[in-house]
Amino acid sequence: MLESRSKKNEEIANEIENEERREKNKKIFKILFWIFMPLFVFFSVSYILLRFIGNIGIVIREYPVYDDLIDSNYSGLKIVQFSDIHFNKNSKLDNIKKLVSTINKTNPDIVIFTGDLVDKDYAINEEEKTIMMSYFLDINAKIAKYAIMGDEDKEEFNEIFNNSGFKILNNTLEKIYIDSSIIDIIAVDDKYSVESINGHTDSNYTIAIMHKPDTADLVISDFNPNLILAGHSHNGQIILPLIGPLMKKDGATKYVSSYYEINDTKLYISGGIGNSSYEFRLFNHPSINLFRLRNSKIDINS
């Protein structure tokens, strides 16, 4: 009888201990849940913001550009810059079509592409090239369409743009004649050589176009252009308030953000259309730049 009672007491004690253990485990689980669930939600929302919402749509960043050298013959001229498409396996050709439609809505006079059409790790196929060429051919520019190569561009760059009505510029000077006025376009690449660029006139309003913005200091030293348009940096791709751009690339470590003024030269850097390295964007939607040249601030309402 005593042995039976002792065994029963032991069972009761074990049951109480097990119940206490279960209650303790429940408390630990609740604590872990309330620690990790917010983290899970945070990272899930962050991923959605970075990967999907950050890449939605195309923003038109519009900039009036004032300079005393801008002649009345072309005051009001509209230049559209687009850059860094980085077409890859995750890209959709329909987005290129939407890009072209957005460009055409601005009714541009000149359209300039500043490099990196296809991602360096992607082999674009013939069908994609054909469709892309047909879309770029539909870009309507009243005066000219220009393109320069980026550091990731390969042989398909020339094929696509040569068959899309673009003139490819590489380390050269292009002159645009508007009535009796001239605009000098200085196009430079990674093999920049001042000796290969001839015919520049200081009295002409001068626009330099390049892929890597850190080349700007050299070009300013050699030619002192009035305006520089560059790409490559994606403006850091991820931008945090009060902190600024997070991602810096070789060739865009000094100049990353969308605008700088260097002495008397205005440097604008496109935020780009596609992504580099990571398919993430934050506070920096895909964008094109629209510039309106003005010969005085009086023209702002014209």
* pTM of this structure: 0.83
Q: What pLDDT digit, counting tens, does each position of 142-177 carry?
A: 999 999 999 999 999 999 999 999 999 999 999 999
**Can you tell me the distance from the alpha carbon of 140 to that of 155, in angstroms, rounded to the nearest whole number?**
25
Q: Tell me the two tokens of residue 134.
A: 């047909």
For 13-26, how does the pLDDT look when each residue is reduced to its tens digit (9 = 90+)? Answer: 666 666 666 766 66
Residue 276 has pLDDT above 80, yes or no: no
In this structure, how many other beta carbons lie within 10 angstroms of the beta carbon of residue 126? 8
Distance CA 108, CA 148 (A): 18
Residue that the structure tokens 């510029």 belong to: 169
Residue 302's pLDDT band (cuts 50, 70, 90): very low
What per-residue confidence (pLDDT) applies to 53? 52
What is the reported pLDDT for 58? 92
Angle between helix axes 126-137 and 155-162 (nearest 10 degrees) is 40
- Residue 73 CB: number of other CB atoms within 10 A? 15
Band of the pLDDT at 33, cuts 50, 70, 90?
low
Task: Taking residues 23-40, report their average pLDDT.
Answer: 61
Q: What is the pLDDT of residue 292?
A: 97
Give CA–CA dist 291/268, Å, rounded: 10
Mean pLDDT, residues 253-257 taken together: 97
Check pLDDT > 90 for residue 232: yes
- Report the range of poorest mean pLDDT among 17-26, 35-44, 86-95: 35-44
pLDDT of residue 247: 85
Residue 182 above 90 pLDDT?
yes
pLDDT for 180 equals 92
| Tokens standing for residue 18 | 């097990």
pLDDT at 37: 55
Q: Domain residues of the chain, as ranges?
A: 1-51, 59-301
Q: pLDDT by residue (tens digit) across 112-131?
A: 999 999 999 999 999 999 99
Instruction: Just give the CATH number of 59-301.
Output: 3.60.21.10
Question: Is the pLDDT reported for residue 245 higher than 50?
Answer: yes
* β-strand partners of 175: 184
Question: Please, which residues bridge with residue 122 across strands?
Answer: none
Pull the structure tokens for residue 70. Answer: 């801008």
Q: Is the pLDDT of residue 285 over 90?
A: no
* 169-173, 229-233, 242-246, 247-251: range with lowest mean pLDDT: 242-246
C-alpha 292/C-alpha 302 separation (Å) is: 11
Is residue 234 predicted with pLDDT exceeding 90?
yes
Q: Are the beta carbons of 241 and 200 closer than 8 angstroms?
A: no
Tell me what pLDDT residue 32 has. 57
Would you state the pLDDT for residue 281? 81
Q: What is the pLDDT of residue 282?
A: 78
